[in-house]
Amino acid sequence: MSGSSARLRAIEAVTHYRATASPLSFSDVPASEIFGSNVFSKDVMRQCLPSAVFKSLMRTIDTGASLDSTVADTVASAMKEWAISKGATHYAHIFYPLTGATAEKHDGFLVPDGQGGAVTEFSGKMLIQGEPDASSFPSGGIRATFEARGYTAWDVTSPAYVLESRNGVTLCIPTVFISWTGEALDKKTPLLRSQQAMNKQAQRVLRLFGHTEIANVTSFAGPEQEYFLIDRNFYFSRPDLLASGRTLFGAAPPKGQEFDDHYFGAIPERVISFMLEVERELYKLGIPVRTRHNEVAPSQYEVAPLYENANLATDHQQLMMLTLRSVAERCGMTCLLHEKPFAGLNGSGKHLNFSIGNSTQGNLLDPGDTPHANAQFLVFCAAVIRSVHLHGDLLRAVIASAANDHRLGANEAPPAILSIFLGEQLNDVFEQLKQGSATSSKTKGSLTVGVDTLPPLPMDTGDRNRTSPFAFTGNRFEFRAVGGSMSIAGPIVALNTILAESLDFIATRLESSAGDEAAFNSAIQKLLQEIITQHGSVIFNGDNYSSEWHKEAEERGLPHLRNSVDALPVLGTDEVAAVFEKYDVLTKRELHSRLEVYLEQYAKTINVEARSTAEIGRTMILPAALRYQSEIAEGCANVKAAGCAPDTRELQHLIGLIGTLTSSLSVLETAMAESAGDSTLDHATHCCRSIVPAMQAVREAADVLEAVVADDLWPLPTYQEMLFIK
C-alpha cells in the first residue's frame, strides 16, 4: 500500500468510526462513591489495621517521624488482602527514574506451597524494599552499566492503590529508587528531601512569629495538564508522531487557531466521552480533577486537578498522563502530550500552581484582605521573590528539554526569561516597602455589567498576566513554563530548595531580634525593604512577549537562556551544587549525574528526530514529489506532441523545490554523520547548533512541496485532517 493510499485509508477509517462507533457506557454509580475506591487510603487503613499500627503510620505520614519497621508485616498483610479483594494478582513497586517516565516491576502474590498448590504471600520486607535491575536506567555516571543493583523503598506518605486494566488488577506501591551506594536514581527521592529541607526552614520562620503548634509545612501543587487528541488512524499513518511524538513535517492548514473559536468552545461529543471516562478512572485513584475545557489550538484540551501535597500531586500527575494515554486508546484516539506536536499552533504546557502551608497555619502565601499588615505573608512572599531572582537560571534549567525548546518564548508561552508578576495590589505594597513601610492595600471593588438583572460582581484587586512565567494568582504562584510532557518533580525540587535557602537567610537575620516585639517588627520592615530593593528587578508586570522586555531584562541582569544547551549546564555550576548540598537535597555527584542524563536525553531526542526526518524525507516526501514531477513532465510532453508550446513554469518551480529538498536532506545527513566531540555537552551542542537548523531546513522545503504536490499523491495525513476530523 503506497503512502498516499495509506493516508486516504486513514481518513476513510476515521469517518467510518464516527459513523459506526457505539456510545461509551458509563456506570450509574455517583462519582462521590467511586472517589478513592481503588486507593489504600487513611480510611481503609483505619478499618483494616490495628489501632497501634494505624497510629504509628499516621505519625510517619503527618509528622515525618521515622517509619517503624516492626509494623511492616501487619501493613503488608492488610494491604495484600485489600488488593486481592479488588481482584489483584500482582504487586508492583512504582518509581520514577530520570527518564521522566513511570517505571514498574510486577511480582505475583502466588508462590508454590511445595505440595502442588500455591498460597498468597506478601511480607513486610516485600512491601518496604524491592530490587529492580538498575543497569538499564540512566544514571549519568553514578553507576557503571555492569553494576546492576538498585533498590526501591516504600514511600509511606503516598498511598498504595490498585490499577485496573483489561486483563487484570495490580497493587501499585509508590517508592523511591536508589542505587546500591544510596544515591538517588529517581525524581521522588530529591523531592522528599527538598520537602524536609523547606519544612525545617519554614518552621524556623513560623516560630519567630510566635507559633508554638506547628504542623509539618509542605509545598502544594496543582498542575494543569494540556494535551492534544487525534484519531489513532492518523497517528499510525505518521511515522514522525510514532517516533518522536511530534510532527516533523506539516504545512499550516487554511484555518488554524486564528479565530479563537476553539478556546472554551463546545466540547465535541467524542471528546467529552473520552473526558468522562478519564475522570472516572482518575476518581477511582483519588485524583481530584475538577476542570476540563477546550484549549486554544484545534484538538487541544486541558484537565486540571485541585491542590494536593506536592509529593502526592507529582505521583498523581504521572498517573494522569498514563490514564490520558490509555483511555484515548480505548476511545480510538491518541493523546499527544508533547510540548509542540504541531508547528504554528499553540503548544502544551503544564502550568504548575505552587504554594506552601500546613494544617495549623494554613496557606502561607495567602495575603488576606490587608496584605500590607500581614507581616508573615510578606516575609514568605519576599522569600519567593528572593529565591526566583537569585536562582532564575536554575528554574530555567529544570524546565529545559528538546520538546520545551519549541514552546518557550514563542509568543504562546512564557519567555525563557524568569520574572515574577505580583499584580497591582502586591506590587503596590512592595513598592511602599521599598520606600520604607507599607500602610495600605488596594481593596476589591465591584464590577457593574450594565444589565439590570445582574447584580454588581466582586472585582479582584488586579488583572492577571498570562505572559508571565511565574505569576502570583491570589494565594499561590503559577509556574507557567513547565512543559506538557514533563514530570513536575524537578521544578518542585528546585522551588522547595531555593525557598529553603531564602527562609534560612530570613530566619537567621530575624532570630537576633526575636522576643522583643518592637525590635522584631523593625527588623522585619528593614529586611523586607532590603529584599525588595536588592531583588525587585525580577518583578515585571508588563508584556513578557515584547521585544522591549527582552532588552529591559538584559539591562536588569536577568539571565536569558534561550534553549536547553544554554540552560542545562547551570546544573553543573558550583553555586547550584552548593545550595543543593547545603540542604541535603542532592549531592554534587547526584546533581552532575542529572546534568549528564538530561544532556544525553536532549541529544538522543534530536538524533531520533533527525533520523526520522531524513527517512521520511527520502522515502515518502521525495518519491511523492518525483511522481508528481513525472506527471507534470508527461503533461508538458503531451502538449508539445500536440503541436503546442507547453507552459513549463510549474514544472521548473517543482524541479527547484525538489532540488532544495534533496540538498537540505544532504546537509542534514552530513550534520548527522559529523563528529560531535567527546563530552555529552559537545554532543548536545552539535545537535542544537547544527542538526536542529538542518532539520528545520528540510521541513521548510517539504512544507512548501505539500502545498504544490497533488493531494492524491501526498503521503502524510495533513494538519487539516488530523486537527479537524474527529
Q: Are residues 178 and 193 in the same domain?
A: no
Range 478-493 average pLDDT = 96
pLDDT class for 260, splitting at 50, 70, 90?
confident
Identify residue 150 by its one-letter amino acid code.
G
Range 350-358 average pLDDT = 96
Range 365-388 average pLDDT = 92
Give the phi and the psi of residue 162 in degrees, each rounded to 5.
Answer: -105, 140
Rounded Cα gap, residues 354 and 501, in angstroms: 17
Residue 538 has pLDDT above 70, yes or no: yes
pLDDT, tens only, 446-459:
666 677 667 776 76
Q: Where are the alpha helices (DSSP H) in 169-208?
A: 188-208
Query: For residues 221 and 353, is the Cβ–Cβ distance under 8 A?
Result: yes
Domain interval for residue 67? 35-186
Q: Are residues 424 and 567 in the same domain?
A: yes
Nearest partner of 187 among 80, 259, 99, 280, judged by Cα: 99
Q: Are residues 405 and 472 in the same domain?
A: yes
Helix, strand, or coil (residue 262): coil
Instruction: Write down the pLDDT at residue 253.
Output: 92
Q: Are residues 197 and 178 in the same domain?
A: no
Q: Are residues 87 and 203 in the same domain?
A: no
Is 512 a member of any domain?
Answer: yes
Q: Are residues 51 and 105 in the same domain?
A: yes
Q: At what angle do helices 574-582 and 588-616 cross, to 10 degrees?
A: 130
Q: Domain boundary at 533, 556, 582, which?
A: 582
Instruction: Write down the pLDDT at residue 725.
Output: 87
Q: Domain boundary at 582, 606, 633, which?
A: 582
How many domains does the chain contain in total?
2
Is 393 a member of any domain?
Answer: yes
Q: Are residues 407 and 438 in the same domain?
A: yes
Q: Are residues 48 and 196 in the same domain?
A: no
Q: Are residues 153 and 195 in the same domain?
A: no
Is 660 a member of any domain?
Answer: no
pLDDT, tens only, 94-105:
999 999 999 998
Per-residue exposure over 376-388, b if at least 16 CB sit within 10 Å of its own CB, e if not: bbbbbbbbbbbbb
Q: Domain boundary at 157, 186, 215, which?
A: 186
pLDDT class for 609, splitting at 50, 70, 90?
very high
pLDDT class for 187, splitting at 50, 70, 90?
very high
Give the CB-side neighbour count of residue 13, counting CA atoms within 13 A.
Answer: 18
Query: For residues 129 and 151, is the Cβ–Cβ distance under 8 A?
Result: yes
Q: Are residues 75 and 59 in the same domain?
A: yes
Query: For residues 717 and 7, is the Cβ–Cβ distance under 8 A?
Result: yes
Instruction: Write down the pLDDT at residue 86.
Output: 95
Give the phi and the psi of residue 637 in degrees, each rounded to 5.
Answer: -65, -40
pLDDT, tens only, 550-600:
999 999 999 999 999 999 999 999 999 999 999 999 999 999 999 999 999
Residue 1 has pLDDT above 50, yes or no: no
Is 382 a member of any domain?
Answer: yes
Is 673 a member of any domain?
Answer: no
Query: For residues 722 and 234, is the Cβ–Cβ distance under 8 A?
Result: yes
Give the phi and the psi of residue 176 in degrees, each rounded to 5.
Answer: -90, 165
Helix, strand, or coil (residue 112): strand
Q: Are residues 94 and 154 in the same domain?
A: yes
Instruction: Write down the pLDDT at residue 702.
Output: 98
For position 157, which CATH number holds?
3.10.20.70
> Which is higher by pLDDT, 647 or 172?
172
Cα dihedral 363, 365, 369, 371, rounded to 10, equals 140
Residue 654 has pLDDT above 90, yes or no: yes
Residues in the chain: 726
Range 90-95 average pLDDT = 94
Nearest partner of 693 among 575, 591, 610, 632, judged by Cα: 610
Grid cell in block for residue 723: 486537527
List the 333-336 sheet strands across, edge first.
289-294, 300-305, 225-231, 333-336
**How is residue 559 annotated by DSSP?**
-
Instruction: Write down the pLDDT at residue 19.
Output: 65
**How is residue 569 annotated by DSSP?**
G
659 DSSP β-pair partners: none
Range 499-518 average pLDDT = 93
> Which is higher by pLDDT, 106 or 662?
662
Grid cell in block for residue 284: 477511582
Is 487 a member of any domain?
Answer: yes
pLDDT class for 443, splitting at 50, 70, 90?
confident
Q: What is the pTM of this model?
A: 0.94
Instruction: Write down the pLDDT at residue 27.
Output: 67
The lowest-confidence range among 175-189, 409-423, 500-514 is: 409-423
Q: Are residues 490 and 404 in the same domain?
A: yes
Instruction: Write down the pLDDT at residue 25.
Output: 65
Highest mean pLDDT pick, 67-71, 254-258, 504-508: 504-508
Nearest partner of 667 among 646, 700, 641, 695, judged by Cα: 695
pLDDT, tens only, 14-26:
777 766 666 666 6
Nearest partner of 245 among 609, 677, 723, judged by Cα: 609
Instruction: Write down the pLDDT at residue 685.
Output: 97
Range 420-443 average pLDDT = 86
Is 511 a member of any domain?
Answer: yes
Residue 335 has pLDDT above 90, yes or no: yes
Is 259 a member of any domain?
Answer: no
Identify residue 109 by its one-letter amino acid code.
F
% of the chain at pLDDT higher than 90: 71
Helix, strand, or coil (residue 110): strand
Q: For strand 168-179 and strand 300-305, is the pairing parallel, antiparallel, or unpaired? A: unpaired
Cα dihedral 316, 322, 323, 324, rounded to 10, equals 110
Instruction: Write down the pLDDT at residue 22.
Output: 67
